[in-house]
Amino acid sequence: MGKRKKINSINCEEALERMFDYIDSALAGKSGTELEHHIETCRGCMKKLDFQLRLKKRLVKIKPVSVSKNFANRLNIILEKQTA
């Protein structure tokens, strides 16, 4: 008989922190296994994951919009002020 590895339980907050990496296939190993186990047992997080997956599918279908150089420059100035 083989030994079964114990899967650590994570809470919803930890699951949400890992969810986007999981969606982007950037979460592997123990962290991914723990998230999958949590999703299987937590209906709330399962719904959030489902929503995020559906949202991502829709967002990738949106075509980029061209904006004027002036608008892009003004937006960059505003964003720089926000992060300063």
Task: Note whether 33 and 60 are within 8 A (CB).
Answer: no
Q: Indicate whether 1 belongs to any domain.
A: no
How buried is 70 (Cβ within 10 angstroms: 0-12 exposed, 13-18 middle, 19+ buried)? exposed
Q: Is position 45 within any domain?
A: yes
Q: Is residue 7 part of a domain?
A: no
Q: Does residue 73 form part of some domain?
A: yes
**Residue 59 sits in which domain range?**
12-83
Predicted pLDDT at 27: 92
Question: Is 75 domain-assigned?
Answer: yes
The alpha helices in the chain, defined as continuous H runs, are: 12-23, 29-41, 43-59, 69-83
Query: Is 3 a domain residue?
Result: no
Q: For each successive 10 residues of the chain (84 residues), what is the average pLDDT?
A: 69 96 93 95 97 95 92 94 80
Residue 31 lies in a domain: yes
**CA distance from start to end of the chain:** 59
* The pLDDT of residue 82: 86
Q: Report yes or no on 47 lying in a domain.
A: yes
As for how many domains the chain has, the answer is: 1
